[in-house]
Amino acid sequence: MTQGRFESRAYKSITKTRLRHLRDIADGLSIIHSKSIIHRDLHSGNILMKQYGNENTKYTRIGDLGLSKSATEADDNEIYGIIPYMAPEVLQGQKYTIKSDIYSFGMIMWEYMTGRRPFWDRAHDNELIIDICDGLRPPTVDIVAPEGYIELMKECWDPDQNKRPASGIKRAS
Protein backbone atom coordinates (compact mmCIF):
# COMPACT_ATOMS: atom_id res chain seq x y z
CA MET A 1 0.00 0.00 0.00
CA THR A 2 1.36 3.40 -1.00
CA GLN A 3 0.11 6.42 0.88
CA GLY A 4 0.84 10.09 1.30
CA ARG A 5 -0.65 13.41 2.18
CA PHE A 6 -3.20 15.08 -0.05
CA GLU A 7 -1.21 18.27 -0.57
CA SER A 8 1.91 16.52 -1.87
CA ARG A 9 0.20 14.25 -4.40
CA ALA A 10 -3.08 15.81 -5.40
CA TYR A 11 -1.81 18.51 -7.70
CA LYS A 12 -0.46 15.98 -10.18
CA SER A 13 -3.89 14.50 -10.80
CA ILE A 14 -5.96 15.27 -13.87
CA THR A 15 -9.30 17.03 -13.43
CA LYS A 16 -11.42 13.87 -13.61
CA THR A 17 -9.31 12.23 -10.95
CA ARG A 18 -9.41 15.38 -8.83
CA LEU A 19 -13.19 15.37 -8.96
CA ARG A 20 -13.29 11.71 -7.94
CA HIS A 21 -11.06 12.47 -4.96
CA LEU A 22 -13.25 15.41 -3.98
CA ARG A 23 -16.30 13.16 -4.21
CA ASP A 24 -14.52 10.69 -1.90
CA ILE A 25 -13.90 13.51 0.59
CA ALA A 26 -17.51 14.68 0.34
CA ASP A 27 -18.79 11.14 0.78
CA GLY A 28 -16.60 10.71 3.86
CA LEU A 29 -17.81 14.01 5.26
CA SER A 30 -21.40 12.97 4.58
CA ILE A 31 -20.84 9.74 6.53
CA ILE A 32 -19.30 11.64 9.45
CA HIS A 33 -22.18 14.13 9.44
CA SER A 34 -24.82 11.37 9.15
CA LYS A 35 -23.56 10.16 12.53
CA SER A 36 -24.01 13.73 13.90
CA ILE A 37 -20.26 14.23 14.18
CA ILE A 38 -18.49 17.49 13.32
CA HIS A 39 -14.86 17.15 12.18
CA ARG A 40 -13.87 20.68 13.36
CA ASP A 41 -10.39 20.56 11.78
CA LEU A 42 -10.99 19.77 8.12
CA HIS A 43 -8.13 20.90 5.87
CA SER A 44 -5.94 19.36 3.18
CA GLY A 45 -3.38 18.14 5.71
CA ASN A 46 -6.06 15.85 7.12
CA ILE A 47 -6.90 14.29 3.76
CA LEU A 48 -5.09 11.02 3.06
CA MET A 49 -4.62 9.33 -0.29
CA LYS A 50 -3.93 5.61 -0.51
CA GLN A 51 -3.09 3.31 -3.38
CA TYR A 52 -3.61 -0.38 -2.77
CA GLY A 53 -1.28 -2.88 -4.42
CA ASN A 54 -0.62 -2.42 -8.11
CA GLU A 55 -3.93 -0.68 -8.75
CA ASN A 56 -3.82 2.68 -10.49
CA THR A 57 -6.76 3.82 -8.38
CA LYS A 58 -6.08 5.99 -5.37
CA TYR A 59 -8.58 6.24 -2.55
CA THR A 60 -9.06 9.47 -0.66
CA ARG A 61 -10.07 9.47 3.00
CA ILE A 62 -10.57 12.00 5.78
CA GLY A 63 -8.16 11.55 8.66
CA ASP A 64 -7.39 13.06 12.05
CA LEU A 65 -10.73 12.95 13.79
CA GLY A 66 -9.04 13.84 17.08
CA LEU A 67 -10.92 17.14 17.47
CA SER A 68 -14.23 15.76 16.23
CA LYS A 69 -17.27 15.97 18.48
CA SER A 70 -20.88 14.98 18.42
CA ALA A 71 -23.00 17.78 17.01
CA THR A 72 -25.15 17.58 20.14
CA GLU A 73 -22.13 17.92 22.44
CA ALA A 74 -20.15 20.52 20.49
CA ASP A 75 -21.19 23.39 22.72
CA ASP A 76 -17.79 24.88 23.44
CA ASN A 77 -16.61 27.99 21.64
CA GLU A 78 -12.94 27.07 21.53
CA ILE A 79 -11.28 27.67 18.18
CA TYR A 80 -9.39 24.82 16.51
CA GLY A 81 -7.94 24.51 13.06
CA ILE A 82 -6.01 26.31 10.38
CA ILE A 83 -7.28 29.85 9.78
CA PRO A 84 -7.89 29.73 5.99
CA TYR A 85 -10.12 26.65 6.38
CA MET A 86 -12.09 27.95 9.37
CA ALA A 87 -15.60 29.27 8.84
CA PRO A 88 -16.13 32.96 9.64
CA GLU A 89 -18.71 32.20 12.33
CA VAL A 90 -16.16 30.01 14.14
CA LEU A 91 -13.55 32.76 13.88
CA GLN A 92 -16.15 35.06 15.48
CA GLY A 93 -16.52 32.75 18.48
CA GLN A 94 -19.64 30.82 17.50
CA LYS A 95 -19.71 27.06 17.95
CA TYR A 96 -18.72 24.63 15.23
CA THR A 97 -21.53 23.09 13.22
CA ILE A 98 -21.81 20.72 10.30
CA LYS A 99 -21.99 23.85 8.11
CA SER A 100 -18.54 24.86 9.43
CA ASP A 101 -17.17 21.63 7.96
CA ILE A 102 -18.91 22.44 4.65
CA TYR A 103 -17.09 25.80 4.60
CA SER A 104 -13.79 23.95 5.09
CA PHE A 105 -14.70 21.59 2.27
CA GLY A 106 -15.22 24.60 -0.01
CA MET A 107 -11.68 25.73 0.75
CA ILE A 108 -10.39 22.24 -0.06
CA MET A 109 -12.28 22.44 -3.36
CA TRP A 110 -10.45 25.69 -4.16
CA GLU A 111 -7.07 24.26 -3.16
CA TYR A 112 -7.60 21.11 -5.17
CA MET A 113 -8.34 22.98 -8.40
CA THR A 114 -5.63 25.64 -8.03
CA GLY A 115 -2.78 23.68 -6.47
CA ARG A 116 -2.38 26.35 -3.79
CA ARG A 117 -3.49 26.55 -0.21
CA PRO A 118 -6.06 29.26 0.47
CA PHE A 119 -4.34 32.55 1.34
CA TRP A 120 -0.89 31.01 0.77
CA ASP A 121 0.42 34.52 0.09
CA ARG A 122 -0.63 36.03 3.43
CA ALA A 123 0.27 35.70 7.06
CA HIS A 124 -2.24 33.63 9.00
CA ASP A 125 -2.86 36.29 11.61
CA ASN A 126 -5.59 38.49 13.10
CA GLU A 127 -5.69 40.61 9.94
CA LEU A 128 -6.57 37.55 7.87
CA ILE A 129 -9.21 36.54 10.43
CA ILE A 130 -10.83 39.98 10.17
CA ASP A 131 -10.72 39.87 6.37
CA ILE A 132 -12.32 36.40 6.25
CA CYS A 133 -15.05 37.56 8.62
CA ASP A 134 -15.56 40.57 6.33
CA GLY A 135 -16.12 38.23 3.37
CA LEU A 136 -12.66 37.72 1.85
CA ARG A 137 -12.37 34.47 -0.11
CA PRO A 138 -9.67 33.19 -2.47
CA PRO A 139 -9.90 34.40 -6.09
CA THR A 140 -11.77 32.24 -8.59
CA VAL A 141 -10.92 34.02 -11.86
CA ASP A 142 -8.16 31.64 -13.00
CA ILE A 143 -9.83 28.38 -12.01
CA VAL A 144 -10.57 26.01 -14.85
CA ALA A 145 -13.33 23.74 -13.61
CA PRO A 146 -16.36 21.83 -14.84
CA GLU A 147 -19.69 23.61 -15.10
CA GLY A 148 -21.25 24.25 -11.70
CA TYR A 149 -18.04 23.59 -9.76
CA ILE A 150 -17.20 27.20 -8.92
CA GLU A 151 -20.81 27.94 -7.99
CA LEU A 152 -20.89 24.96 -5.61
CA MET A 153 -17.55 25.95 -4.10
CA LYS A 154 -18.85 29.49 -3.46
CA GLU A 155 -22.02 28.07 -1.90
CA CYS A 156 -19.86 25.99 0.45
CA TRP A 157 -17.98 29.06 1.66
CA ASP A 158 -20.97 31.42 1.77
CA PRO A 159 -20.65 33.81 4.74
CA ASP A 160 -24.20 32.85 5.79
CA GLN A 161 -23.93 29.29 7.04
CA ASN A 162 -27.66 28.78 6.41
CA LYS A 163 -27.01 29.22 2.67
CA ARG A 164 -24.32 26.53 2.57
CA PRO A 165 -25.33 23.15 1.18
CA ALA A 166 -26.20 20.47 3.71
CA SER A 167 -23.70 18.19 2.02
CA GLY A 168 -20.99 19.48 -0.27
CA ILE A 169 -20.90 16.73 -2.71
CA LYS A 170 -24.19 15.28 -3.62
CA ARG A 171 -24.38 18.11 -6.17
CA ALA A 172 -20.75 17.86 -7.29
CA SER A 173 -20.83 14.22 -8.30
CATH for 2-66+78-163 (1.10.240.10, 3.30.530.20, 1.10.510.10, 2.60.120.10): 1.10.510.10
Is the model more confident about 138 or about 36?
138
The predicted pLDDT at position 134 comes to 97
Question: Is the pLDDT reported for residue 53 higher than 70?
Answer: no
Question: Is the pLDDT reported for residue 173 higher than 50?
Answer: no
Q: How confident is the model at residue 107 (pLDDT cuts 50, 70, 90)?
A: very high
Helices (H), the chain: 6-9, 15-34, 88-91, 98-114, 126-133, 149-156
The predicted pLDDT at position 83 comes to 96
Q: Where are the domains of the chain?
A: 2-66+78-163
Question: Is the pLDDT reported for residue 86 higher than 50?
Answer: yes
Length of the chain measured in residues: 173
CA distances from 31 to 35, 36, 53, 111 (A): 7, 9, 26, 22
- pTM of the entire structure? 0.84
Tell me what percent of the residues of the chain surpass a pLDDT of 90: 49
Q: How confident is the model at residue 170 (pLDDT cuts 50, 70, 90)?
A: low
Residues known to be catalytic: 41
In angstroms, rounded to a whole number, what is the distance separating the alpha carbons of residues 76 and 54? 45
pLDDT tens digits for range 3-40: 555 554 544 445 778 888 899 999 999 999 999 888 98
